[in-house]
Amino acid sequence: GAFCCFAENSSRCGECISLDQSCDTGYFLASAAGRLIREKRKVLSEEAEAESANAAALQALLASQARLDRARKQRRLLEERAAEIIHRGFNSLE
């Protein structure tokens, strides 16, 4: 083909391997290698940004869960106190 890209663990490109031909590595241009390096850097940067956003979202979720747990505990305590007051009220009527 007009553009050879080395297959993994081989000195030939995938197309040349499938055609059982020798591979002219002259087509593997430095510009192609540079483009791959730039693309990899971009993807690594995007990955780091996503990890950072994920960590921030996790922290926000944990804080929100803690607030929810506290509110539920408060509600349960209030319900228990209300039930106790009602029970005392009925006992005083007897």
Which residues contact residue 11 at a Cβ distance below 8 angstroms, ignoring those fewer than 6 apart?
23, 25
pLDDT digits (tens, 9 = 90+) for 66-82: 999 999 999 999 999 99
pTM beyond cutoff 0.75: no
> Where are the domains positioned within the chain?
14-93
pLDDT digits (tens, 9 = 90+) for 28-87: 555 677 788 999 999 999 999 999 999 999 999 999 999 999 999 999 999 999 999 999
